Structure 1
Amino acid sequence: MKNLPLNRLGPHESTPGVVNFGILLPWISAADGNRLFVKIIHERDQFIQAIQPLAFELRHDVNADYGDIWSAAVDFNTTRDSQPGSHFGAPDRHVYRFELHNPNAGALDWIVDPYAREYATGKLSAFTLGYTPYSWSAGETGWRTPALNDLILYELNLAEFGTGLQGAIDRLDYLADLGVNALSVMPVNNVSLEVDWGYLPLGYFGVDERFGRRDDFQRFVDAAHQRGLAVIVDAVYGHTGEDFPYADLYRRLQYQENPFMGLFAQNYFGVSTDFNRTLTRDFFFSVNLHWLNTYHIDGFRYDCVPNYWDGALGMGYANLVFHTYEYVRTSIASLTSLSRFDAPEGPRLIQIAEQLEAPEQILEQSYSNATWQNATYGAAVACARGAAGAIGNLGQRLGALGYVEQATHNGETMVKAPLQYIENHDHSRFLCEFSLRHRDWNLLFAEGDRTQ
């Protein structure tokens, strides 16, 4: 796997007031009569009918590795006064989208940028003119990711826990007082809906605007580390939302094949990603590297692994976690942003699989060092209900019976462990499992008309 040329993709302010845009669109060429535009408006003007976005045409080129690439440089210094009364070109956030003019399909608007680093409401990407990179605290250089066998995780939904990143930061002391030392953060990637858990992504290279801006998440990670809390993010790579641009655009063009999407392994949710495609593999590898270096996270919880699990030697999940581990292992000495993983036993990068179909296998056959598994949860429910032999079974589950404690891959010995839990976002509260009625009818937690 290779890191994409991210310095050419998405928006980048190369010099003050000049923003370069770039997007890979394989099989969409200017030679076939296509034209691509980026439509930009200042965030403060987007709901003023008299002020319309300005459109700038991109030029077409061919990338040796990925094919058709489109790019443009927009000089806000010379276009700032082109719309009297607008904030165009003023510092702060501008929102944008792409529009493709295709000779057969016509004008296809509302194309999200898959390489955007910021997002706005709905199907809009964003960038901050005059953006100042976040300055990490002095203590960040001394942070070390906890050892795997010491992890005590708290699963966190930012929208519900703290109504955003600032609210979560305000509650970090509470979490530290609980005795946990790691936060498993449910998806923070961009989605199209205002209320959404995040498992149908549109954008992967930044934080959804519902929670805050990119420096808000960096501040959240920084503050968590200062309190002894590792941060693990939920990575949804086996499927996307319908409006993810590589799904949406090629569908609207009625292409019979897709350079990014397609059936690969299982097909449980959303639109499946095809890891047989070079762009798909390198895209998600680049997402991992971006989050490790830009946001200083401590690891990933990979959602719905069966959607891209094709075996230990396949092109999908095992390939991704191997290359991510190898990147960290070979870069620790040269990148101070990765020093948190340095440990005598080897890199402490956390890679957790949600492979409920074969959790024992995923630890044995991949560079994952932890996995979700529902056996402990099921044993705990049976034990609480007084099922015969249940307490012995629960003891075996808590003892990780059947799981390797370590495995050697290519000469690298790694500590391995299943995650133990009796609750998570896929299950009801443990207490709700016990009632004369189905758990969804548990009167202890009934909602509705209290007079009835």
Structure 2
Amino acid sequence: MTIQLSDVGASVSGSHVQFGIYLPGVTPGRGYSVEAFAIHLDDQFDPAVPAQSFTMNYTGGPHDLWSANGPLTGPGNFGAAGLHLYRYRLLRNGNPVVFAFADPFAREAGPGTFSAFTVGGTPFAWTDGSYQTPALQDLVVYELNVDEFAKDFYGVIKRLDYLSSLGVNVLELMPFTNVKEDTEWGYTPLAYLAADDRYGGLQGLKMLVNACHARDIAVILDAVYAHAHPEFAYNLAYEATGLPNPMMGPFVGEFFPGRPGTDYSKEFTQDYFKIVNQYWLDELHLDGFRYDYVPGMWKSPTGPGYAKLTFETYQYSKGIPRFQDPAGHSRIIQCAEHLPDPRGVMSSTYSNTAWSNELMDKMADTAIWRYVDEQLAYLFDPQLTGYPTHYSNPATGDSFPVAPFQYVETHDNPRQLARIAPSELRDLIGERYGDRSRFYLLQPYAIGQFMGKGVPMLWQGQELGENWGMAHWGLGRNLYPRDVHWEYFYDQYGQALIRLYRRLGQLRKSLRAVNASGPFFYVNDASHRSQQVIVFWRSVLATATEPEQYVLVYLNFSEQPQEIWMQIPKAGIWVEQLDHGEPTPQPDLVANHAGEWCPVTVPSHYGSVFLL
């Protein structure tokens, strides 16, 4: 690896600041020179205080390093404690070629396209030394956008107890690296190593991760490694010079034709994202990555793009204590958004999980057309639809469990209520809200999602009956704010759903039989499907300290209560769990012998979960 983070970015040592940037092919012999400009944040709009200029020296090396080291003294507040903003300027024969561009190696960011560094302050004191990343089979994921969920990292910290009450032990944070626009999902990065200042920057992110780890909650980054903002340094500089671009090329995939994307056939690109991942693991203690749009990074199952990056990241994680599993593998979370082939990417790369839209889309179809079929039942156990349960690499000896994320809503799609129960109300871009009075349509799917196999994932506000619509294309998708309607928490619909989700989260956490990879038996009965009901059961063997456990699940997707007959797999008193302890609980189930035919009446658009 030829990229060295110690050479690049901005760093403060004593009374001096050092700048460094790799610009392959940009050399003095071609007439080029580089300058850095910096100013204290408090002086940014003071006309009497100019930015400090630093002439960069050409150091050379395999990636043509430019660097400067200068004193932290100057007019105004320059050099005083606090955030300093900086950018670079590229010149040829003394004339600006690119007037200003952000540092692709900056560890901090300011507003807009400014990179940043901090003078003063004390090193962050981590307290997560004993923390262990949760095992794959125990994961419950919550996807959130920091701005829409709680405005900044500090706001998310205040809601961690709320998330814990849902059984959540992984936060999948939508991209938090700095972007140019204030309202932005984060999918056009300007720098890959800097947390956005709007969210609380580097310090705020460290505080969030540390607070999550104190509650045994993992944190993963939605990593946007297939494309960048048009003003990303390696877009601007090489478009202006016409020199061969060391990192960017044509975007690969169906989006943004003709726009720049990362080119993984280039060694610089491979090294860049390798050190980016290592930085997030080492410096920010992240637990892994959800890789956005893997087709844009894909070369082959053994190629230099996505496959190589996840392999090298996995190998690196083996040396980090929080990832060590007693079975000998690393618990790092590497989730692929490879929607064309989630099974293939989990079978052939070091991805221990993946996004898949199948359950979400099937939910919309079955809810709209009011039917139940075998395919819906199979989707509650991804193994029945061809997903692997383990990945093994004979060449390295690596082996670890795998399971897809199971979700019914994501940031990329309208809320399910907007799809299956649209109202007449529309938002400012003309998209319909969902009718929240029909929240009950969501309930059996939620029960199946948590009681089935795979890794359950919630999209922020799903548990409250959030009902935003979504434009299919254009700026209305990722430049339109959709803040969580926290007032829904207090109304009758939100209260009903949050009660159910909290109970499901508690069951997922406490029941050994209910996890991502344990046994799953679908009761394939045509009479059940005619009643729009699905029944399955799960079990786990006894251990030296814990007894055998059975969980029997009924899901009713119909408009009426349904009396369901089936042969109960084991004798005993089966205690209903969803309403256990409520004023009017569902009755328990008594089977006098294994295989006894017993009826269970399941409420409309709801379910029953029995524990033996």
- TM normalised by structure 1 equals 0.90
Q: Which runs of 5+ in 2 are unaligned?
A: 436-466, 470-612
Q: 1:263 Cα shift?
A: 2.8
Q: 1:253 Cα shift?
A: 2.1
Secondary structure (helix, strand or coil) at the match of 1:31 reads helix
**Amino acid in structure 2 at the alignment position of 1:44:** D
1:299 aligns with 2:282: no
Partner of 1:259: 246
Give yes or no for contact 1:234–1:300 (8 Å, CA) kept in 2.
yes
Secondary structure (helix, strand or coil) at the match of 1:22 reads strand
Q: 1:437 Cα shift?
A: 7.7
Quickly say closer, same or farther: Cα 1:306–1:59, change in 2 above 3 A: same
Instruction: For 1:21-420, list aligned pairs within 5 A.
Output: 21-64=19-62, 66=63, 68-76=64-72, 80=73, 82-83=74-75, 86-103=76-93, 106-137=96-127, 140-255=128-243, 257-263=244-250, 265-266=252-253, 268-269=255-256, 271-329=260-318, 331=319, 338-345=320-327, 346-386=329-369, 388=371, 390-400=372-382, 401-409=385-393, 410=395, 411-420=397-406
User: For each residue in 1:297-346, what CA deviation from the matched residue of structure 2 results, as whole angstroms up to 9, or x when unmatched?
Assistant: 111000000001111111100010000001112x2xxxxxx211011221
Quickly say closer, same or farther: Cα 1:94–1:103, change in 2 above 3 A: same
CA distance in 1 between partners of 2:242 and 2:331 (Å): 45
Q: How many residues align?
A: 426
> Identical aligned pairs, as a percentage?
37
**Amino acid in structure 2 at the alignment position of 1:368:** S
CA distance in 2 between partners of 1:74 and 1:425 (Å): 45
**Amino acid in structure 2 at the alignment position of 1:149:** Q
1:422 aligns with 2:408: yes
Give yes or no for contact 1:266–1:308 (8 Å, CA) kept in 2.
no
Quickly say closer, same or farther: Cα 1:141–1:248, change in 2 above 3 A: same
Q: 1:387 Cα shift?
A: 5.0
CA distance in 2 between partners of 1:274 and 1:321 (Å): 16
Secondary structure (helix, strand or coil) at the match of 1:11 reads strand
Quickly say closer, same or farther: Cα 1:420–1:443, change in 2 above 3 A: closer
Q: 1:435 Cα shift?
A: 3.7
Secondary structure (helix, strand or coil) at the match of 1:283 reads helix
Give yes or no for contact 2:415–2:468 (8 Å, CA) kept in 1.
no
**Amino acid in structure 2 at the alignment position of 1:268:** F
User: For each residue in 1:168-222, what CA deviation from the matched residue of structure 2 results, as whole angstroms up to 9, or x when unmatched?
Assistant: 1111111111111111000000101011000000011120001012121111001
Give yes or no for contact 2:90–2:100 (8 Å, CA) kept in 1.
no
CA distance in 2 between partners of 1:271 and 1:105 (Å): 26
CA distance in 1 between partners of 2:468 and 2:391 (Å): 47
Q: 1:75 Cα shift?
A: 1.2
**Amino acid in structure 2 at the alignment position of 1:6:** L
CA distance in 2 between partners of 1:249 and 1:403 (Å): 44
CA distance in 2 between partners of 1:101 and 1:376 (Å): 53
Secondary structure (helix, strand or coil) at the match of 2:346 reads helix
Partner of 1:12: 11
CA distance in 2 between partners of 1:378 and 1:32 (Å): 55
Q: 1:368 Cα shift?
A: 0.5
Give yes or no for contact 1:184–1:233 (8 Å, CA) kept in 2.
yes
Give yes or no for contact 1:298–1:350 (8 Å, CA) kept in 2.
yes
Give yes or no for contact 1:118–1:125 (8 Å, CA) kept in 2.
yes
User: For each residue in 1:251-305, what CA deviation from the matched residue of structure 2 results, as whole angstroms up to 9, or x when unmatched?
Assistant: 12234x3111003742624620011111111000100000000111111000000
Secondary structure (helix, strand or coil) at the match of 1:239 reads coil
Q: Superposition RMSD on alpha carbons, in Å?
A: 1.9
CA distance in 2 between partners of 1:288 and 1:121 (Å): 24
Quickly say closer, same or farther: Cα 1:387–1:133, change in 2 above 3 A: same
Secondary structure (helix, strand or coil) at the match of 1:141 reads coil
Give yes or no for contact 1:264–1:276 (8 Å, CA) kept in 2.
no
Give yes or no for contact 2:227–2:251 (8 Å, CA) kept in 1.
no
Give yes or no for contact 2:419–2:434 (8 Å, CA) kept in 1.
no
Q: Which runs of 5+ in 1 are unaligned?
A: 332-337, 448-452
Q: 1:160 Cα shift?
A: 1.0
**Amino acid in structure 1 at the alignment position of 2:379:** R
1:441 aligns with 2:432: yes
Q: 1:4 Cα shift?
A: 2.4
CA distance in 1 between partners of 2:421 and 2:322 (Å): 46
CA distance in 2 between partners of 1:52 and 1:133 (Å): 30
**Amino acid in structure 2 at the alignment position of 1:414:** F
CA distance in 1 between partners of 2:309 and 2:115 (Å): 26
Secondary structure (helix, strand or coil) at the match of 1:21 reads strand
Secondary structure (helix, strand or coil) at the match of 1:228 reads coil
- TM normalised by structure 2 equals 0.67
Of the structure 1 ranges 265-274 and 25-34, higher mean CA displacement relative to structure 2 is found in 265-274
CA distance in 1 between partners of 2:166 and 2:218 (Å): 14
Give yes or no for contact 2:108–2:116 (8 Å, CA) kept in 1.
yes
Give yes or no for contact 2:226–2:262 (8 Å, CA) kept in 1.
yes
Give yes or no for contact 1:40–1:54 (8 Å, CA) kept in 2.
yes
CA distance in 2 between partners of 1:408 and 1:371 (Å): 16
